[in-house]
Structure 1
Amino acid sequence: MRIEFILKVKPGDILAKSIFSSDGKILLRAGVSLTLNYINRLKQLDVLYVYIEDKRLSDLDLEDIRLNELKVDTLKGVSTIVKKITLNDRVDIMDSLIKVEELMNYIIEFGDINKSLNDIKTHDNYTFVHSIDTGIMAAFLGINMGFERADIVNLGISATLHDLGKVKISKDMLNKSQGLSNVEYSEMKKHPIYGVDILRSNTDLSVKITDAILQHHERIDGTGYPFGLKGNEICINAKIISVCDVYDAISNDRSYRTKFNPKDSYELILAGSGKFFDEEVVKVFKDTFAVYQLGSCLKLSNGVEGYVIKQNKGFPDRPVVRVLYHGKDKKPIRFYEINLLENINLSVECVY
Structure 2
Amino acid sequence: MRLELINRVVDGEILGKSILTSEGKVLLRAGIKLTNQYINKLKEIGVIYIYVEDDRLNDICVEDTRMLEMKKHAIKNMANIVKSINNCDSKLFKKNIRQVEELINYIIDDGNVSTSVYDIKTFDNYTYLHCIDTSIMATFMGLSFKFKEADIKDLGMGAILHDIGKTKVGNVIVNKPGPLTPEEFEEMKRHPSYGVDMLKEYYSISQNILDIVQQHHERVDGKGYPNKISGNKINKLANIVSICDVYDAVNNDRSYRKKFKPNEAYELILSGSGSAFESDNVLKFKETFAVYPLGSCLKLSNDIEGYVIKQNSNYPDRPVLRVLYDSETKKPIPFYEVDLLKNPDITVEAII
Q: Shorter-chain TM-score: what band?
A: over 0.9
Q: Does 1:21 align with 2:21?
A: yes
Write the distance in 2 (CA, Å) between the matches of 1:18 and 1:234: 38
CA 1:82 to 1:28, structure 2 compared with 1: closer, same or farther past 3 Å? farther
Quote the residue 1:62 is aligned against.
Answer: 62
Matched letter for residue 151 of structure 1? D
* Deviation (angstroms), 1:222: 0.8
* Deviation (angstroms), 1:294: 0.5
Q: Does 1:99 align with 2:102?
A: no
8 Å Cα contact 1:252/1:260 also seen in 2: yes
Q: Does 1:351 align with 2:351?
A: yes
Write the distance in 2 (CA, Å) between the matches of 1:331 and 1:217: 49
**SS of structure 1 residue aligned to 2:165:** helix
Matched letter for residue 26 of structure 1? V
Matched letter for residue 130 of structure 1? H
Quote the residue 1:181 is aligned against.
Answer: 181
Please, which moves more after superposition, 157-166 or 302-311?
A: 157-166
* Deviation (angstroms), 1:336: 0.5
Write the distance in 2 (CA, Å) between the matches of 1:101 and 1:329: 51
Q: Does 1:308 align with 2:303?
A: no
CA 1:350 to 1:225, structure 2 compared with 1: closer, same or farther past 3 Å? same
Give the total of aligned pairs. 351
**1:35-46 pair list within 5 angstroms:** 35-46=35-46
CA 1:200 to 1:89, structure 2 compared with 1: closer, same or farther past 3 Å? closer
**1:1-352 pair list within 5 angstroms:** 1-82=1-82, 90=89, 92-327=92-327, 329-352=329-352
Write the distance in 2 (CA, Å) between the matches of 1:6 and 1:173: 31
* Deviation (angstroms), 1:205: 1.2
Matched letter for residue 196 of structure 1? V
Write the distance in 2 (CA, Å) between the matches of 1:166 and 1:35: 39
* Deviation (angstroms), 1:268: 1.9
8 Å Cα contact 2:308/2:319 also seen in 1: yes
CA 1:262 to 1:113, structure 2 compared with 1: closer, same or farther past 3 Å? same
**SS of structure 2 residue aligned to 1:164:** coil
Matched letter for residue 270 of structure 1? L
Alignment TM-score, normalising by the size of structure 1: 0.94
* Deviation (angstroms), 1:241: 0.3
8 Å Cα contact 2:23/2:129 also seen in 1: no
Write the distance in 1 (CA, Å) between the matches of 2:23 and 2:248: 20
Tell me which of the two structures has the higher relative contact order, counting C-alpha pairs closer than 8 angstroms and 6 or more residues apart: 2
CA 1:154 to 1:189, structure 2 compared with 1: closer, same or farther past 3 Å? same
* Deviation (angstroms), 1:89: 8.2
* Deviation (angstroms), 1:49: 1.4
Write the distance in 2 (CA, Å) between the matches of 1:145 and 1:21: 32
Matched letter for residue 43 of structure 1? K
**SS of structure 2 residue aligned to 1:184:** helix
RMSD: 1.8
8 Å Cα contact 2:85/2:199 also seen in 1: no
Q: Deviations over 1:51-88 (max 9, x none)?
A: 111111111011222222211111111133346678x6
Please, which moves more after superposition, 190-199 or 108-117?
A: 190-199
Write the distance in 1 (CA, Å) between the matches of 2:31 and 2:221: 48
Write the distance in 1 (CA, Å) between the matches of 2:67 and 2:105: 11
**SS of structure 2 residue aligned to 1:322:** strand
8 Å Cα contact 1:85/1:167 also seen in 2: no
Write the distance in 2 (CA, Å) between the matches of 1:258 and 1:247: 14
Write the distance in 2 (CA, Å) between the matches of 1:312 and 1:202: 46
Write the distance in 1 (CA, Å) between the matches of 2:169 and 2:36: 37
* Deviation (angstroms), 1:324: 0.6
Please, which moves more after superposition, 336-345 or 195-204?
A: 195-204
8 Å Cα contact 1:22/1:76 also seen in 2: no
CA 1:277 to 1:51, structure 2 compared with 1: closer, same or farther past 3 Å? same
Q: Deviations over 1:85-121 (max 9, x none)?
A: 78x6847222222122111111111121111111222
8 Å Cα contact 2:22/2:121 also seen in 1: no
For structure 2, which runs of at least 5 residues remain unmatched after alignment? none
Write the distance in 1 (CA, Å) between the matches of 2:202 and 2:321: 49
Matched-pair identity in %: 54
- Which structure 1 residue ranges, 4+ long, deviate > 3 Å from structure 2? 82-86, 88-91
Q: Deviations over 1:325-348 (max 9, x none)?
A: 113542001111000000111000
Please, which moves more after superposition, 195-204 or 309-318?
A: 195-204
Matched letter for residue 236 of structure 2? I
